[in-house]
Amino acid sequence: MDSSTRYRCYHLAEALRAKGCHCVVVSLTEFLKNPCYAYNVYIFHRPSADVDRFHSTLEDLRRLGKRLLADYDDLIFGSAEEALLYPAFTSGLRTAKQVAAMFRANLLALLEFDFFTTSTEPLKRKVMEHKTNGRCEVVPNAVPDSVLAIAEENELHLTSRPSNVVGYFAGTKTHDKDLLLAEEGILRFLETDPEGRFLVVGPVSLPIALADHRRVIQHGVVDYLRLPKLMQQCSTVIAPLEQTIFNDCKSRVKFLEACLAGCRLIATPIPDMKAAACHWADLPQTQDEWQTALARKYSESVRSNLASERFLYLKGQCHAARSADALLSLLGE
């Protein structure tokens, strides 16, 4: 159910297997309880020093000549000051002491490694600030063959849908403040289109004006493979984010999921979103731009044609095989 584990571990492992690598995924705690030393390379996704046997197991692996990498897809390491920007703190889910301890434990783990992979360029720069003599490769989040095959077989992106349903798919409650960026635009959209609907999926709390609106529909968290089917109800999906260092390090995942489902995406122009989707999504920066983007509609034929073009782009440029190649390049394979 965890999107980070899915994109950074399972999707990449599938792509590596397709290239002839023997690759398995195991949780850090299970691996440290019962380590296996049969592999050449060990990639630790979001490693933390605050886990029993972490340091001693790394020493054992190094002594055996294994290659060790740390992988990051969020800014989860650094100083106590940087920790105060972490959404779990800004949204009130954790205390300042808790996030500071987490950032410190993650930074101590980072310093144990010399090789790194990150999901975005800004995150790579943050890693290199702490490990200036390290080597880091950007391995973008991407979609593997198994997911593409399901989407293509079921023609998820071609499914007809109303032109006036907007969706917001939030994986965690930490996005409460992000939604405020688009609130005025959503309310304006609902006001000007008496048949328009706003679908919210996930544990996010809505502002009162949206929570009380009769054409705002809320849905609980769904399994990843059910997500495109639910997104098929929407012509447009949104991905607003506050302008913070943390969010600048975030990735293109919302674009990937919108392409799979055939939805137009309106998103905050964080660096990785601009790199992946600058020609394929609306990237508003102001409240007025959000309102303009949300007011824009396309006929079903135009939406379908654009959805087909985006899906082809997804298959060609955002395929997990390309990310696997980036990882293998770092390893010199």
pLDDT in tens, 73-88: 999 999 999 999 898 8
* Neighbour-count burial of 279, counting CB atoms closer than 10 A to its CB (0-12 exposed, 13-18 middle, 19+ buried): exposed
Averaged over 145-174, what is the pLDDT? 91
Looking at the structure, tell me whether residues 127 and 71 fall in a common domain.
Answer: yes
pLDDT number for residue 254: 96
Looking at the structure, tell me whether residues 25 and 37 fall in a common domain.
Answer: yes
Averaged over 184-208, what is the pLDDT? 94
Binning pLDDT at 50, 70 and 90, where does residue 220 land? confident
Looking at the structure, tell me whether residues 204 and 108 fall in a common domain.
Answer: no
Count other Cβ atoms within 10 Å, centred on residue 229: 14
pLDDT number for residue 13: 98
pLDDT number for residue 71: 98
pLDDT number for residue 201: 93
Total domain count for the chain? 2
Taking each helix axis from N to C terminus, what angle separates 253-261 and 145-153, rounded to the nearest 10 degrees? 30
Please report, rounded to a whole number, the percentage of residues in the chain having pLDDT higher than 70: 100
Looking at the structure, tell me whether residues 22 and 36 fall in a common domain.
Answer: yes
Distance CA 315, CA 144 (A): 9
Looking at the structure, tell me whether residues 74 and 108 fall in a common domain.
Answer: yes
Averaged over 50-77, what is the pLDDT? 97
Residue 93 in this model has a pLDDT that exceeds 80: yes
Residue 332 in this model has a pLDDT that exceeds 90: no
Residue 193 in this model has a pLDDT that exceeds 90: yes
Residue 291 in this model has a pLDDT that exceeds 80: yes
- Beta pairing, strands 236-239 & 115-118: unpaired
What is the helix (H) or strand (E) element at residue 5, kind and residue range? helix 3-5
Looking at the structure, tell me whether residues 214 and 232 fall in a common domain.
Answer: yes
Looking at the structure, tell me whether residues 44 and 190 fall in a common domain.
Answer: no
Distance CA 206, CA 203 (A): 9
Are the CB atoms for 224 and 151 separated by under 8 Å?
A: no
Looking at the structure, tell me whether residues 86 and 215 fall in a common domain.
Answer: no
pLDDT number for residue 204: 86
Which domain CATH number covers 227?
Answer: 3.40.50.2000
Taking each helix axis from N to C terminus, what angle separates 320-331 and 11-18, rounded to the nearest 10 degrees? 70
Please, what is the average pLDDT of the chain?
94
Binning pLDDT at 50, 70 and 90, where does residue 241 land? very high
Binning pLDDT at 50, 70 and 90, where does residue 227 land? confident
Residue 242 in this model has a pLDDT that exceeds 80: yes
pLDDT number for residue 62: 97
Averaged over 130-136, what is the pLDDT? 97
Looking at the structure, tell me whether residues 153 and 299 fall in a common domain.
Answer: yes
Which domain CATH number covers 327?
Answer: 3.40.50
Distance CA 293, CA 325 (A): 36
Distance CA 228, CA 156 (A): 7
What is the helix (H) or strand (E) element at residue 92, kind and residue range? none
The amino acid at residue 74 is D
Averaged over 267-286, what is the pLDDT? 95
- Residue 130, φ and ψ in degrees, nearest 5: -95, -25
pLDDT number for residue 58: 97
Looking at the structure, tell me whether residues 294 and 164 fall in a common domain.
Answer: yes
pLDDT number for residue 333: 67
pLDDT in tens, 6-42: 999 999 999 999 999 999 999 999 999 999 999 999 9
Are the CB atoms for 218 and 198 separated by under 8 Å?
A: no
- Beta pairing, strands 197-201 & 165-169: parallel
Are the CB atoms for 323 and 140 separated by under 8 Å?
A: yes
What is the helix (H) or strand (E) element at residue 139, kind and residue range? none
Looking at the structure, tell me whether residues 160 and 307 fall in a common domain.
Answer: yes
Q: Which domain holds residue 257?
A: 145-317
Binning pLDDT at 50, 70 and 90, where does residue 223 land? confident
Looking at the structure, tell me whether residues 135 and 156 fall in a common domain.
Answer: no
Of the listed ranges 138-142, 178-182, 214-218, 322-326, the least confidently predicted one is 178-182
The closest of 242, 249, 251, 252 to 285, measured between CA atoms, is 242
Structure token digits, residue 268: 């905050």
Residue 270 in this model has a pLDDT that exceeds 80: yes
